[in-house]
Structure formats: structure tokens, C-alpha cells
Amino acid sequence: MYFPTKIPSLTGDFITRLPQMEAADIAYNVLSVFAGDDLQAEELQDICREVFSFPLPVKQLADKLHVLELFHGPSLSFKDVGTRFLAGLLKLYVHKYNRRFTVLVATSGDTGSAVAAALHNMPGIQVVLLYPKGKVSQIQEKTLSTFDGNVHALEIEGTFDDCQRLVKSAFNDEELREKLALTSANSINIARFLPQSIYYFKAWADLQPAPHKRLCMAVPSGNYGNLTGGLIAARMGLPVHFFVAGSNSNKVVPDYLESGTYTPRTSVRTLSNAMDVGAPSNFIRIREMFGDDHAQIKKYIKGFTATDDQTLQTMQEAYNDTGYILDPHGAIGYAACRHHMQGADQGIFLETAHPAKFSDTVEQAIGQEVPIPERLRHMIEGPKRAISFPADFAEFKNWLLQAGNIR
């Protein structure tokens, strides 16, 4: 698990200039302070331009309530941002240092499709995706199991936590690390979560909240990489008054906020399955940022939990009240934001995936069909190519080492 040794502050002048800047410029300015000498200015600029080439719109849904739509990228979830940045870096390293990489990723759905979309057919790169059998939506499964060429999907008989454990064990295995030049595309990879701070800056710039009003940002959370991005932005100087961590019944973090005791547990299945994480790997980063001071963390991050019934009800209410179609993850963000906003507070919640990715649930909630965007239709064509696999490290390692499986 990597973390910057220092989180630099940006100047007040930079914050004032944000509304005049494109997302790619914000990204370059923010990320260059972390990049050091590893990247030349032009290299980072090119990557930022490529990553932030799709819209990140903020829309008003109700009085003082706004949605930041993060689903306009190729795989229709916010995970496109981090994975495309990682892809940009890998492409550069393959090219510049003539290196090859094997990218390992455990996914509860959206990471897999984002990584696959970003790295498919990239020379020098092999991708191995592990996803839990029967625990991702039908459409999600199609978006990650139909790729060919350098993308290999393994359908693991277990939970997301099992998938994550297999990936972690692989990284702890010296032989695998050496022979396959492993790199992680999960949010343990710093190149993935830092770029996620950018859209918080961009959303703030679009909304330009009144300085004397409190701004709340609500983040539907599972592994807590997205929220960590927001906290980094705030630590660098972005004026966010407080964050809300929205969770489903996998509520380890809201429970910690309430009790001060952190108890990871086995994840349970919910409708917002990309948040079905029982041991969120980024939470340690958040504790680190606050010097593990529970009182400080609790002051700045509010917890919110929604059951599946409450999620469905929120989707229905939001649709009736505003005409807006939420996906089950964004619905928890919406409810979380509304729950904690008071008086004149302004709120932005993050809509982390396009509702069409979860059309079954959405249709159940609002009684309407969700139109499928063309780029999603394109992704889900083609036969399923995933290989069934037990949640067993020895077998996984064998498969990885077998010449011809990944080359």
C-alpha cells in the first residue's frame, strides 16, 4: 500500500483560478507536484489530456443539491479516470524503457471493465481480471468477460474479498513478481487513486460555491479509493466543509465512525455490488491522513448507510421528484448527501456509474426502461470468455506461471 510521504498545499491563487481551467490543466497542475522527476512535463501533460478527454458535468437536481456525473468515460464508471491514467503511464514505460507488465486486478465489476477498456490491445501489457462468480450484474459481467487478446478474465468461486486476497498473495510472491513484472490496477496503486482527486477540483470549479456556505461532498464508497481522492484534494486546499461516506450494508466504515472501533468483516451481497467490500483497502490511507485520530476523522467524514430497500426507495423518490435516473450506487450518494445537508449547505454527490450498467435494478425501482448508451452496447456484444477458477492461490499461481497463458 503506497501513500505520498507529503501532501503539498496548493496556493489560494490556484484555487481562485480553477473555474478558468480545463480538467486536463487542473490534472497537470495537481499531479505534477506528486510526479517528481519520474515524468517530464510534456509526458504528464499528454497523459492528462488523454485521460480527461470526456465530460465531468455537474448538474443541479434540486435546491442546493447537485450531482457530479462520472460515467461519461469508455466503461461508464468513475473508474475510467484512474485506470486511464494508469494505462497512460504503463504505455509510456513500455515505450520508454522497453518494459513489459502483467496487470493484476480484483474486481467487483466496474474496475475490471475500466481496466480492460483502457488496456485492451496495448503492446507489452497482459491483463488478468479476477471477479467473484455470480456477484456482479449481468451487464457488468459482459463488460469484463468478453475481451480477447491480452485481457484474461478469471471467474473466481468466491467473494470479492477472495479475489482481492489472491491478488495480494500474488504480489507477496517473489517468483511471480519477478517473472511477470506484476503491477496492480487496484486502488492500492497510487497512480490510480491520485487522479481521482481531480474531479473534486473540477466539480468545485463548476459549482463555484459561495465562500460563506458549507459545501458537502457525498461519495458512495466500497474500497474507499474515491473518497481518498476527495480527501487529498481537500488536504491540498480545496474548500470542502465535510464529506459523507455513503455505504450499503457493508458498513464497516460508518460503524467505525460511530464507535471508534474498526472491524473488517466478510462482505455481504447488495444491489450496489461495487461497494460490497468488507475490508476496504484504502481505509488505512484515510486513517494515515488523520494521524489515526478518530475524533478528527469523525469531524470531517460523516457516515451514512442504506439498505437495499432504502436504495430502491431512493431511486424511486429521486426519479419522481427530479426526473433523474440514479444507479444503485449514486442513489446511496444522493441519500447520503441529503441526509447530512443542513440549512444553507450546498451538496454535491458523485454518481459513480451509468444507470444502464445496472438496468435490472433501475427498472425494478422506477418501472421504466433505461436506454443503453451505444458505447455500452458495443462493450457487451460478443461471447463470454471467462475461465472458471477456485479461490485457491496455488492454482492461481500455477496458471499465471504456465507459459502460454499470459505472454
Phi, psi of 65 (to 5 degrees): -110, 125
Binding of ligand PLP by 326 (CB under 6 A) = no
Q: Fill in the DSSP letter of residue 263.
A: -
Other Cβ atoms within 10 Å of 291 Cβ, number: 8
Binding of ligand PLP by 274 (CB under 6 A) = yes
Site for ligand PLP in 120-179 (CB under 6 A): none
Binding of ligand PLP by 223 (CB under 6 A) = yes
Any residues with CB less than 8 A from the CB of 332 and at least 6 apart, and which? 220, 246, 247, 248, 272, 275, 304, 306, 311, 314
| Minimum distance, C-beta of residue 40 to ligand PLP, in the bound complex (Å) | 29
Residues 282-321: x where in contact with ligand PLP by CB under 6 A, - otherwise, as a string: ----------------------------------------
| Minimum distance, C-beta of residue 306 to ligand PLP, in the bound complex (Å) | 13
Q: Could you tell me which stretch among 18-26, 121-129, 155-163, 220-228 binds ligand PLP (CB under 6 A)?
A: 220-228
Residues in binding contact with ligand PLP, number by CB under 6 A:
16
Amino acid, single-letter form, for residue 79: K
Binding of ligand PLP by 110 (CB under 6 A) = yes
| Minimum distance, C-beta of residue 144 to ligand PLP, in the bound complex (Å) | 12
3-state secondary structure 59-124: EEEECCEEEEECCCCCCCECHHHHHHHHHHHHHHHHHHHCCCEEEEEECCCHHHHHHHHHHCCCCC
Between 155 and 351, whose beta carbon lies closer to ligand PLP?
351
Find the binder of ligand PLP among 191, 194, 233, 353 (CB under 6 A): 353
Q: Could you tell me which stretch among 89-97, 98-106, 161-169, 214-222 binds ligand PLP (CB under 6 A)?
A: 214-222
CA terminus-to-terminus distance, the chain: 27
Beta bridge mates, 242:
216
Q: Could you tell me which stretch among 25-33, 118-126, 199-207, 224-232 binds ligand PLP (CB under 6 A)?
A: 224-232
Site for ligand PLP in 48-77 (CB under 6 A): 77
| Minimum distance, C-beta of residue 247 to ligand PLP, in the bound complex (Å) | 9
Beta bridge mates, 156:
132, 389
| Minimum distance, C-beta of residue 404 to ligand PLP, in the bound complex (Å) | 32
Between 101 and 224, whose beta carbon lies closer to ligand PLP?
224
Q: Output the CA–CA distances (angstroms, integers) from residue 135 to 35, 77, 105, 140, 161, in the order listed.
A: 37, 18, 16, 10, 12
Q: Could you tell me which stretch among 13-21, 122-130, 217-225, 293-301 binds ligand PLP (CB under 6 A)?
A: 217-225
Question: Could you tell me which of 277, 276, 281, 289 has the C-alpha nearest to residue 243?
Answer: 289
CA angle 383/384/386 to nearest 5° reads 150
Binding of ligand PLP by 361 (CB under 6 A) = no
Q: Output the CA–CA distances (angstroms, integers) from residue 361 to 191, 270, 335, 336, 356, in the order listed.
A: 32, 11, 17, 19, 9
Amino acid, single-letter form, for residue 18: L
Q: Fill in the DSSP letter of residue 20.
A: G
Residues 333 and 69 sit within 8 Å (Cβ to Cβ): no
Find the binder of ligand PLP among 135, 168, 329, 338 (CB under 6 A): 329
Between 200 and 224, whose beta carbon lies closer to ligand PLP?
224
d(CA 302, CA 227): 12
Find the binder of ligand PLP among 221, 270, 305, 361 (CB under 6 A): 221
Binding of ligand PLP by 79 (CB under 6 A) = yes
Find the binder of ligand PLP among 83, 126, 352, 359 (CB under 6 A): 352
Q: Could you tell me which stretch among 53-61, 218-226, 230-238, 341-349 binds ligand PLP (CB under 6 A)?
A: 218-226
| Minimum distance, C-beta of residue 190 to ligand PLP, in the bound complex (Å) | 14
Question: Could you tell me which of 224, 212, 289 has the C-alpha nearest to residue 253?
Answer: 224
Find the binder of ligand PLP among 102, 113, 189, 226 (CB under 6 A): 226
Amino acid, single-letter form, for residue 334: Y
Binding of ligand PLP by 281 (CB under 6 A) = no
Task: List the grid coordinates of 265.
Answer: 468483516
Find the binder of ligand PLP among 73, 225, 254, 355 (CB under 6 A): 225
Binding of ligand PLP by 247 (CB under 6 A) = no
Q: Which residues bind ligand PLP (CB under 6 A)?
A: 77, 79, 110, 187, 220-226, 274-275, 329, 352-353
